[in-house]
Amino acid sequence: MPKDHGIGAAQTRREDVRFLTGQGNYTDDINLKGQAYVHFLRSDVAHGKIAKLDTSAAAAMPGVVRIFTSADFEGVGGLPCGWQVTDKHGEPMQEPAHPIIASGKVRHVGEIVAAVVAESLPQARDAAEAIELDIEELPPVVDMKAALEAGSAKVHDDLTSNLCYDWGFVEENKGAVEEAFGKAAHVTTLELVNNRLIANPMEPRVAVGDYTRHSDESTLYTTSQNPHVIRLLMGAFVLGIPEHKLRVVAPDVGGGFGTKIFHYAEEAFCTFAAKACNRAVKWTSTRSEAFMSDAHGRDHVTTIQLALDENNNFTALRTDTLANMGAYLSTFAPSVPTWLHGTLMAGNYKTPLIYVNVKAVFTNTVPVDAYRGAGRPEATYQLERVIDKAARELGVDPIALRRQNFVTEFPYATPVAVEYDTGDYHGTMDALERMADFAGFEARRKESEAKGKLRGLGVNCYIEACGIAPSNLVGQLGARAGLYESATVRVNATGGLVVMTGSHSHGQGHETTFPQVIAEMIGIDESMVEIVHGDTSKVPMGMGTYGSRSLAVGGSAMVRAAEKIINKTKKIAAHLMEASEADIELKDGAFSVAGTDKSVAWGDVCLAAYVPHNYPLEDIEPGLEETAFYDPSNFTYPSGAYACEVEVDPETGKVTIERFAAADDFGNVVNPMIVEGQVHGGIAQGVGQALLEGCVYDENGQLLSASYMDYAMPRADDLPFYSVDHSSATPCTHNPLGVKGCGEAGAIGSPPSVVNAVVDALQSAGKNVTHIDMPLTPARVWAAMQ
Amino acid sequence: MKMSGSILIDADRETVWAALLDAEVLKQCVPGCQEMEGSPEEGFQATVVQKVGPVKATFKGAVTLSDMDAPNSLTLSGEGKGGAAGFAKGGADVRLEDEEGGTRLHYDVEAKVGGKLAQLGSRIIDGFAKKMADQFFESFQTAVAGPAAPEEGAEDGAEVADADADGNPKEKRGWFKRLVSSDEKQG
């Protein structure tokens, strides 16, 4: 019988009560007394020199409080980049200044040129229209290949070129990889594009800056996945506000998908302007602004080559990738195409030699950074597409080719610097085969043919590195911060608990799952546990939520803090029962002495900690609150196998997804319902990338896909009912919960199987189509068939 | 966005040329034009109200004429700023040729849009630009030579048409052609 409490229970989400009844408290719901509104005047050209910027007429418009330009930010730091990549020659990446308001030049459509603070938003907008702005256009840098050619216009005049870095990984392996390719019995080559995406969380970004003059304290309410990181970056590197004078609050956040990790100009602006104007300043992004100011995702152009021996064993892999950085380095941008991508190129396979080259390129486009999966979808897509192509070239079963090359012994040290602690790739593939009914595929294909449709089946595996990240390791790789997590567990005198976690929930359901863990540990009901997150004044420290790290890292910190609490309560219980601490057992919310009928309830021990009339005062302090920092010793490595069946209409090229099966290994699962929800959502985004979503710039650097008229998001009727399974689980060996993380898997694992399926469908009709770049729109599929 | 085409205008080359340089004609012909001032030498200042898909805006802009080879060819270039709606800029190379039945006007237009116009209107901008060009030249034809005649009647003899309601002969020639014809010049 399934559990209804504790770890493993499919409890409904307690936060949904407020979300579903309109009681959520999102940043835009925060309205402070006397707040002013800011409207940003943004560049509508991609690259140009600001020849004239006259705000005098606008400043005289009704309701205008103040107009800010770059001149107001002289002496203020720019937006910092949190990760420094070292290139293959040992040189640091080129790192341009990233101003809050464009200074001298504009470098992408959407860049802030001026900010109008006014009594009302319409007044701010009207005044912005009265700003006289003249931008002399410069040649736009849009295409990555052209950007690297000699003589290309430069996005940043003070850099030597548009190349951010030329990264080789592992550079020492390059020679051996070349040699292996020379000896290969077969080499499969594939050129592909990982399409640029726009995250589109349901809630657009919002920032409200506030300032209290008498105490010189600044507060920022913002739609962030990591309020402490924003406090650190903005306080220390941008505005120079000490952390004890700066509070950052990220209340309910309606989806992030990575794009709300980063520190944005608008956040720094509202905090700065609130102090400058001595009143609260609010900005709510319009959807149009979101398209041209939220960091974009993906945008890689890759050539991948796989070498196989005469027995179809993978012998070597090499890739050449151009990765778009956009106009500036967003907070974690340099890490995405490198350490979050190159280290995953081994996939589920024991390929002994791998060389990854990545050239990161500046262009006159919106900055590109992490988006659900961040580097790992790009790695998975290349690898699983080239394996599929190799299977077709060699005439072997794509599943058999994968199985033949699976890593089967753990721990496994890959040639790309990571060590998989555990996994069972045959196990997840077996689970997939059970679910997906491959045996019935030919019959289903005939049914489709009878309707005039082509049916295709695509399969892929994936592995990801989650639970980001071991601090000393990422420090060596260029991260400018540690990536531990912290938690404070406070037990009240009557036994209820409050967990203050540095993880941030923006849809993940922490308020439900974290109490399940505590409830399991102590043996109490989940209703006795409250989760506090998202406020730097309430939570001591936190690195936030991204990289599927909440439970694996933040949850582990909470477990460590709860263990300290349990150890202390056992001491108190031993004192109360006049027993040895070693004999105390905690079960079902009561302490007992082993081998006796002596027992004291959880609540009584907690009360004793705060009313220490009978208390071991000479041994331990009163009170019951513990903090723990948890730094993982390794990444976690969720993995899985996915299968997609599509129908293609040969008349129109329209692809419909008929069946989708996902077998995942997430290690231990705390709440299977939430895990399945994460997989469903991830697949929806992966299918969105594969079939629908594509960010388009024209040759002038104008963003053409800047509304839902032109940027197609997946809708319910684009998606089938999924079959999902996470029963083939190998618990993580190095965190206390044995969990691996599930937030990004669906988005990482699904695009290749969709494309593999479409290629399969077209080839079944005798079409010589080996690849189509995403998104597989009807026009592209139809064109490929002609 | 690029667009080329030609139109046969029922007027001689000098008349067409003069019309191209006339602010009042341009104002009549540019769809949505509210104001047009200036001269061929100093350029024209224009205010145009237009709606491109969901974006409606007032564009203020300047048009300059260059490479003028009277009465054969010229280049028009202009830029209109629509505030929050973005901008449109472009140029047209115009060439005039004598042809049976009047003057053939050839045009090669190159235009680009930016800001919200590009973001929201890119899918429809080509069709929009084509429509604008069609409207412009239709109005230009009307202004210079009168409404386009039916296919069969496109001869000189058709110029004098029926009497209008006041019993005056209905002049089929465009107002500009009447204006520039010395014998009909009004005081």
The structural domains of chain A, with segments of one domain joined by +, span 27-138+202-255+260-293, 296-469+634-785, 484-630
Q: For A700, which of B83, B84, B114 is closest by C-beta distance? A: B114
- Decide: helix, strand or coil at residue A499: strand
Q: Which residues of chain A have a CB within 8 Å of the CB of B120?
A: 288, 706-707, 709
Closest Cα to residue A294, out of A110, A156, A162? A110
Are A503 and A554 contacting, i.e. CB atoms less than 8 angstroms apart? yes
Q: How far apart are CA A646 and CA A643, in angstroms?
A: 10
Mean pLDDT of all residues in A215-233: 97
Q: Is the pLDDT of residue A642 over 70?
A: yes
Give A 234-293 residues with CB within 8 A of chain B: 288, 291-292
Mean pLDDT of all residues in A765-779: 97
Over residues A695-752, the pLDDT tens digits come to 999 999 999 999 998 999 999 999 999 999 999 999 999 999 999 999 999 999 999 9
Distance from CA of B1 to the nearest CA of A (A): 10
**Burial of residue A23, with CB atoms counted within 10 A of its CB: 0-12 exposed, 13-18 middle, 19 or more buried:** exposed
Q: Which residues of chain B have a CB within 8 Å of the CB of A709?
A: 120, 123
Cis peptide before B71 (omega within 30 of 0): yes
Closest Cα to residue A507, out of A256, A204, A229? A256
Q: Residue written as tokens 């506030």?
A: A210
The pLDDT value recorded for residue B156 is 42
Cβ separation of B120 and A698 shorter than 8 Å? Answer: no
Q: How far apart are CA A460 and CA A749, in angstroms?
A: 7
Across-strand partners of A307?
Answer: A187, A316
Mean pLDDT of all residues in A672-695: 97
- Decide: helix, strand or coil at residue A627: strand
Q: How far apart are CA B93 and CA B106, in angstroms?
A: 8
Cβ separation of A703 and B118 shorter than 8 Å? Answer: yes
Fold assignment, B2-184 = Alpha-D-Glucose-1,6-Bisphosphate; Chain A, domain 4 (3.30.530)
Q: How far apart are CA A381 and CA B83, in angstroms?
A: 42
Of A132-136, B9-13, B119-123, least confident by mean pLDDT is B119-123
Of A94-103, A419-428, B101-110, least confident by mean pLDDT is B101-110
Q: How far apart are CA A781 and CA A762, in angstroms?
A: 9
The pLDDT value recorded for residue B148 is 60
Q: Is the pLDDT of residue B163 over 70?
A: no
Half-sphere CA count of B34, side-chain side, radius 13 A: 9
Distance from CA of B52 to the nearest CA of A (A): 14
- Evaluate the CA torsion angle B3, B6, B7, B11 in order and state its sign: positive
Q: How far apart are CA A509 and CA A517, in angstroms?
A: 13
Which CATH number is associated with domain A27-138+202-255+260-293? 3.90.1170.50
Q: Residue written as tokens 């009163």?
A: A622
Nearest CA in chain B to A292: B119
Contact status of B2 with chain A (Cβ, < 8 Å) = no
Distance from CA of B97 to the nearest CA of A (A): 34
Nearest CA in chain B to A133: B83
Contact status of B116 with chain A (Cβ, < 8 Å) = yes
The pLDDT value recorded for residue B54 is 77
The pLDDT value recorded for residue B162 is 44
Give B 59-88 residues with CB within 8 A of chain A: 83-84, 86-87
Q: Is the pLDDT of residue B157 over 60?
A: no
* A484-630 CATH choice from 3.30.110.70, 3.30.365.10, 3.30.1490.190, 3.30.360.10: 3.30.365.10
Q: What's the Cα-to-Cα distance from B89 to each of A141, A174, B139, rounded to whole Å?
A: 19, 50, 21
Q: How many CB pairs under 8 A join A and B?
A: 48
Q: How far apart are CA A472 and CA A451, in angstroms?
A: 58
Are A383 and A393 contacting, i.e. CB atoms less than 8 angstroms apart? no
Q: Which residues of chain A have a CB within 8 Å of the CB of B86?
A: 44
The pLDDT value recorded for residue B158 is 38
Mean pLDDT of all residues in A509-524: 97
Over residues A337-379, the pLDDT tens digits come to 999 999 999 999 999 999 999 999 999 999 999 999 999 999 9
The pLDDT value recorded for residue A239 is 97
Give A 690-729 residues with CB within 8 A of chain B: 698, 700, 702-704, 706-707, 709-710
Q: Mean of the per-residue pLDDT values for chain A?
A: 96
Q: Is the pLDDT of residue B186 over 80?
A: no
Nearest CA in chain A to B125: A704
**Residue partners of A450: CB distance under 8 A and separation at least 6:** none
Q: Is the pLDDT of residue B85 over 90?
A: no
Q: Which two tokens stand for residue A269?
A: 């602006």
Q: Which residues of chain B have a CB within 8 Å of the CB of A700?
A: 112, 114
Q: Is the pLDDT of residue B137 over 90?
A: no
Q: How far apart are CA A73 and CA A52, in angstroms?
A: 18
Are A114 and A67 contacting, i.e. CB atoms less than 8 angstroms apart? yes
The pLDDT value recorded for residue B149 is 53
Of A101-105, B67-71, B119-123, least confident by mean pLDDT is B119-123
Q: For A698, which of B86, B118, B120 is closest by C-beta distance? A: B118
Mean pLDDT of all residues in A18-27: 96
Q: Mean of the per-residue pLDDT values for chain B?
A: 81
Q: Is the pLDDT of residue B177 over 80?
A: no
Q: Is the pLDDT of residue B165 over 90?
A: no
Nearest CA in chain A to B83: A129
* Confidence category of residue B146, pLDDT binned at 50, 70, 90: confident
The pLDDT value recorded for residue B52 is 81
Spell out a b/e string for A66-101, using b for 16 or more CB atoms within 10 Å of the CB, else e.
bbbbbebbeebbbbbbbbbbebbeeeebbbbebbbb
**Residue partners of A460: CB distance under 8 A and separation at least 6:** A380, A384, A387, A388, A641, A642, A749, A752, A753, A756
Mapping DSSP onto H, E and C, the string for B39-67 reads ECCCEEEEEEEEEECCEEEEEEEEEEEEE
Cβ separation of A698 and B122 shorter than 8 Å? Answer: yes
**Burial of residue A440, with CB atoms counted within 10 A of its CB: 0-12 exposed, 13-18 middle, 19 or more buried:** exposed
Contact status of A129 with chain B (Cβ, < 8 Å) = yes
Fold assignment, A296-469+634-785 = Aldehyde Oxidoreductase; domain 4 (3.30.365)
Distance from CA of A45 to the nearest CA of B (A): 6
pTM: 0.92
Mean pLDDT of all residues in A95-118: 97
Q: For B120, which of A128, A700, A707 is closest by C-beta distance? A: A707
Contact status of A662 with chain B (Cβ, < 8 Å) = no
Cβ separation of B120 and A709 shorter than 8 Å? Answer: yes
The pLDDT value recorded for residue B90 is 86
Mean pLDDT of all residues in A70-97: 95
Nearest CA in chain B to A41: B84
Over residues A258-317, the pLDDT tens digits come to 999 999 999 999 999 999 999 999 999 999 999 999 999 999 999 999 999 999 999 999
Q: For A44, which of B115, B122, B123 is closest by C-beta distance? A: B115
Q: Which residues of chain B have a CB within 8 Å of the CB of A292?
A: 119
Question: Are both A27-138+202-255+260-293 and A484-630 of the same fold?
Answer: no
DSSP track, B73-95: EEEEEEEEE-GGG-EEEEEEEEE
Distance from CA of B6 to the nearest CA of A (A): 27
Q: How far apart are CA A376 and CA A252, in angstroms?
A: 27
Q: Is the pLDDT of residue B152 over 80?
A: no
Give the residue extent of every domain in chain B: 2-184
The pLDDT value recorded for residue B2 is 84
Are A46 and A700 contacting, i.e. CB atoms less than 8 angstroms apart? yes
